[in-house]
Amino acid sequence: MIGSAGEACAIQDVPALIAATDKECEGCYGEFNKALQRITGHKTPLKGYRTDKQAWEKWWEENKDKISFSGES
């Protein structure tokens, strides 16, 4: 489900996807992580079988001002 949504998302959707990782089910195997990687080009390892919310929050705080929302970086 989130995989196809991640393809349709843009960089401005990253904060919402990071926030939504709390709702990731155990059987999703990091689908939010895959979507975030597709959107940002950044790879963050899974925490067990789930997206590492803290790692993504840290990355976003460090990089959000470096990324253009118009699609240019």
* Domain residue ranges in the chain: 2-66
pLDDT digits (tens, 9 = 90+) for 38-69: 999 999 999 888 899 999 999 999 999 987 66
The pLDDT of residue 7: 57
H-type alpha helices, the chain: 2-8, 14-20, 31-40, 53-63
C-alpha span between 32 and 18 (Å, rounded): 8
3-class secondary structure, 51 = coil
Question: Taking the alpha carbons of 41, 46, 51, 53 in that order, is the dihedral positive or negative?
Answer: negative
Phi/psi region, residue 41 (left: phi>0; alpha: psi -120 to 50; beta: rest), is: left
Q: Tell me the whole-structure pTM to 2 decimals.
A: 0.78
C-alpha span between 71 and 45 (Å, rounded): 24
